[in-house]
Amino acid sequence: MANGESVTERAERARKALDALHQLPPPDPHAHLRAILLEQKRLGYQKLNIDRQGLNGHDASLIESLAYINAGEVTPKAIRWLWPGRIATGKVSLIVGDPGLGKSQVCASLASVVTNGGSWPVDRTPCEQGAVIILSAEDDPEDTIRPRLDAAGAMVQHVYILQAVKYESDTQKGERGFDLAKDAAKLGLLGAELAGKGVPVRLIVIDPVSAYLGIADSHKNAEVRALLTPLSLVAQQRQCAILLVSHLNKSQTSSALMRVQGSVAFSAAARAVWGVTKDPQNEQRRLFMPMKNNIGKDDSGLAYQIESYRLDAPPSEPGADLDPIDTSRVMWEPDIVRMHLDDAFGNGPADERNSKREAADFLRSVLADGRVLSTELQRDCEGAGHSWATIRRVAQGIGVKTEREGFGPKGRWYWSIPPTA
């Protein structure tokens, strides 16, 4: 026998080895993770991404695990829209622009469409009627928000203006400001409460979002994302659109999207970002342009002007003398606007912007007396030192219309500009 052992002796040795194996403690299911911890400690890592408490013992219930779903178990569904192609329900969107351009008036206009179940500007698609919640840190409800809603034609009984968060305990009672870090879920509860009154919330406006960040740093991505994630959940759960209002920074060299004030997390988290700016060619005209649209088309914008509006004096007690109320409202233009985003927001070198302004002035002068044949217009523009590519780009911004006459080789294109453009 090998090693001088008999068959009986070898069998006995094997039995003893098997008995000894059965008496060993159960294997540590986290041995490989413990090895990672020891290696990180040896390398001097201070921040570990593994749950130490769970690894110090053998209780696997203390170990954090990943939640996942198999893609085959996901039921596909279409995007639901508040404003088709522009603002989705169940999502967070963003409106940005410099102060004084009418962002809040735009929000009042949107509130009017929603509360009336009206039609959206330009494309005239219908909107499902619903309620609107407004958080406004800059405008007074009595002398600004309500008059603007009235001027826009909103059904004000379906608009709710959030003013504060009430708190009460055994020792104290009072009100405090709304804080996204603490109170985002309360918006969902308010939405559920209002839905119980028969009109579900379709739109929540937070204007400006920077006023409701609490102690969070608006320039830190992680802190901003931590605030916006609960808002996204509210939008999903209540199937409403959440519209954040913000400002632009002063940079003229960054792309338009990178000019959103604060952390890039604002524009990254929003599914759509709409920018408000002055028309470079018309000081009174405002452009409402897509800066980003992850779930819809971003090839066209809208234009509007801010119109002064006077409301009649509200009903009062007999003998009271109340003055009419002066406010303003948005007047949307009937056609879409196609313009390069950086052209609309004035980004790029100053000499390039001047070139486009001069090209627009030249184009207006040439078309002032009526329509012009495209080939003749191109020849005149190039003769005046303007590139045809620049002319075509600025034409969209100043409202130039093109039309074709005839068919086939004999067809001709004409350019014209409406008298009000």
Question: In the structure, what pLDDT confidence band is assigned to residue 326 with cuts at 50, 70 and 90?
Answer: very high
The amino acid occupying position 368 is A
Residue 271, C-beta contacts closer than 8 angstroms, at least 6 positions apart = 88, 91, 92, 93, 293, 294, 295
Residue 284, C-beta contacts closer than 8 angstroms, at least 6 positions apart = 305
Q: Say if residue 361's pLDDT is above 50.
A: yes
Report which of residues 275 and 39 the model is more confident about.
275
Helix (H, G, I), strand (E, B) or coil at 138: coil
- The sign of the dihedral angle between the CA atoms of 19, 21, 24, 27 is negative
The amino acid occupying position 161 is I
Q: Tell the residue number behind the tokens 């085959």, with chain if given.
A: 72
Helices 180-195, 221-238: axis angle to 10 degrees equals: 10
The pLDDT value recorded for residue 38 is 60
Q: Say if residue 419's pLDDT is above 60.
A: yes
pLDDT 10s digits, 278-294 = 988 888 999 999 988 88
- The sign of the dihedral angle between the CA atoms of 78, 83, 84, 85 is negative
For range 408-418, the mean pLDDT: 83
The pLDDT value recorded for residue 54 is 44
Helices 374-383, 350-367: axis angle to 10 degrees equals: 130
For range 92-116, the mean pLDDT: 95
pLDDT 10s digits, 43-56 = 554 444 444 444 44
Q: Which H or E run includes 308? A: strand 302-311
Burial class (CB in 10 A: 0-12, 13-18, 19+), 385: exposed
The amino acid occupying position 348 is G
The pLDDT value recorded for residue 132 is 98
Q: Using only the alpha carbons of the chain, give its radius of gyration.
A: 32
For range 229-248, the mean pLDDT: 93
The pLDDT value recorded for residue 209 is 93
For range 362-388, the mean pLDDT: 82
For range 201-210, the mean pLDDT: 96
